[in-house]
Amino acid sequence: MLPLIILQIGCNPTPPPNKLQQIKQDGILKVGTIYGRTTFYHGSTGPQGFEYELAERFAKQLGVQLQLLPFYSYHALMQDLDQGRIDLVAAGDALSASNKDVYKLGPVYQQVAHKLVFQQGQPRPRRIDDLTAPLLVVKGSSTEQLMQQLQQHNPDLKWQSTDNKDIWELLSDVAQGTLAYTVVDTNTLSVQRRQFPQLSIGFGLDEPKGIAWLLNAEEDDSLRSAIIQYFGHLHQGGVFKSLEDKYFGHIRQFNYVDTRAFIQAAKNQLPTYIDMFRRHAKDIDWRLLAAMSYQESHWQPDAVSYTGVQGMMMLTRDTASDLNIASRLDPQSSIDGGARYVTSLIRRIPARVGHPDRLWMALAAYNIGLGHLNDARDLTEQQGGNPDLWVDVKRRLPLLEQKQFYKTTTYGFARGREGKKYVENIRRYYDTLIYLDNNTELLQPLPEA
């Protein structure tokens, strides 16, 4: 009996792997999200979206494959998390009190508030008592939970929730006048107003709330600890602010008149030149080239600046000569020259600068010159920023207008604020053109206002 007893004592069972170990053993990280332009969608170049990129980077850090599972319904998404069919939820939705009570949370990485929106031109509601029709919000979202809380203090508040439409469709309905009101978070509103400038804000409904990934509360803390460490690395390396700038940095400010005018021009003027932009864009997106041209000349072939630049792409005489452009006022020649020039600038940005930062820097160089851009990059490094991240460099561009800074640079004074605004405007126009191009029926002439 003694050998048997010794054998039993010596055969302690191996403890089961924790959650993180299991993911690594399986080689797959299962992330649930909601379809949308701020979360995940299939773009012209493949999968895109802020939450998608965050999840993809996390999977790479863990050394596993990302399996992103997009849902149409918040209820189905959370049900899969509750039943362990997915490892975490990255839906870009604001945290509610119930989320905090039911799920484990990763670190908060953004703040959003909720706004009531209505169609421009309709009477503006300034408080709940001004609403003349029921609100419609997305079922299962943070907005539905917000409505439930508000109704406790406003029993006359009338609202409904729907599982048949997402927030993007509800915003479209409001913009087109088929829905009186909806409620939207500030991230989503900033994106959608680039396509529907007629979306107006009535009033705010809450204070800013955090966004964080959600995990099943019954799991151990191993995956949550890895997520906390991951976001720490993102922030320390400047990667998070660069990624956030890519999706949201250029759209925080909104100009109704400018956005409306651009959409009108895209439908009424751009069709004349689309084939030219497509033909000459080469290695860059033709829609980006078209956005540049609008910023430069508003698609006016005979545009002339007081500084002497001319044409659709506002080329200088010297640049046109270097590119063998015979006439800067010929739209085909101007677009060809502008495309070749910006392509050359992209190639001259140091190879270590990643995409899309090198693209935004090349646009800035198109406006203020490569020498001034390099001065701003030098200032960025001197001040402890990352000269290879556009989000850091654009903060230093305005310093090129201040003597205490530009006197220390190689090329001296530059209109740095203009260069920063130039890039941000192009990025906004580019976003709008992507939307219009993906919905070709929208590229039809607008009725006269």
Q: Which residues contact residue 294 at a Cβ distance below 8 angstroms, ignoring those fewer than 6 apart? A: 262, 265, 266, 429
Contact predicate 142/185, CB 8 Å: yes
Q: In what order do the strands lie in the sheet with 182-185?
A: 182-185, 114-119, 199-204
Q: Largest alpha-carbon pair distance within the chain?
A: 103
- At 356, is the secondary structure helix, strand, or coil? coil
User: Which amino acid, residue 273?
Assistant: Y
- At 364, is the secondary structure helix, strand, or coil? helix
End-to-end, the C-alpha distance of the chain in Å comes to 97
Chain-centroid distance of CA 238 in Å reads: 16
Catalytic annotation, pick one of 169, 296, 381, 448: 296
Contact predicate 33/51, CB 8 Å: yes
3-state secondary structure 2-63: HHHHHHHHHCCCCCCCCHHHHHHHHCEEEEEEECECCCEEEECCEEECHHHHHHHHHHHHHC
Rg (CA), the chain: 26
Question: How many whole angstroms separate alpha carbon 276 and alpha carbon 332?
Answer: 6
Chain-centroid distance of CA 236 in Å reads: 21
Question: How many whole angstroms separate alpha carbon 399 and alpha carbon 390?
Answer: 15
50: its two tokens: 């802020």
Q: Is 296 among the catalytic positions?
A: yes
Residues designated catalytic: 296
